[in-house]
Amino acid sequence: MATITKRDLVERICGDGPAGRRVEVKKVLQQFLDLVIDELGKGNRLEFRDFGVFEVKERAARTAQNPKTLQRVLVPAKRTVKFKAGREMRIRMEGGEAGEGGEGGEGGGGRVGGGNRPDPPNGVLVETKTRRAGAAV
């Protein structure tokens, strides 16, 4: 597994283009990253369709324990960034190609079985019961 840097991305975007183009691509990429950081710093949610969503989450203060000394330590509240992969990214990470994955819009919405069910035989709708996690039977 390789580590890809910003410089590597600029090289891939530019290919064999002129050196002046590399400078422009680097500026645009850096401006994009700065804007992402600024918006997350303001607490805004960034959504890139099919790629994913960046959100700022608040972590509550908590008490932790130093494993070496067993001393209790107060960990202050902090803000952290959460990323949730979008549909196209999930498909590609599973080894599929973009554009696959069936119908159903934005993902399965948490439905059991997803949105890739075959049509019912003879056009007859069949009701089924689904069990939610933690539900009583």
* Average pLDDT estimate for 6-12: 92
Residue 68 resides in a domain:
yes
The CA–CA distances, whole Å, from 111 to 1, 105, 127 equal: 33, 13, 14
Confidence check: pLDDT of 71 > 70: yes
How many domains does one find in the chain? 2
23 and 59 share one domain: no
77 pairs with which residues across the strands?
A: none
38 and 49 share one domain: no
Q: What is the pLDDT of residues 75-132, one digit of tens each?
A: 999 999 999 999 999 999 998 775 554 444 444 444 444 444 455 444 444 444 444 4
- Whether the CB-CB separation of 79 and 56 falls below 8 Å is answered with yes
* Percent share of the chain, pLDDT over 70: 71
Q: What is the CATH number of the domain that holds 61?
A: 4.10.520.10
The stretches of the chain forming alpha helices (DSSP H) are 6-14, 19-41, 87-93
pLDDT at 128: 46
pLDDT at 98: 59
Residue 64 resides in a domain:
yes
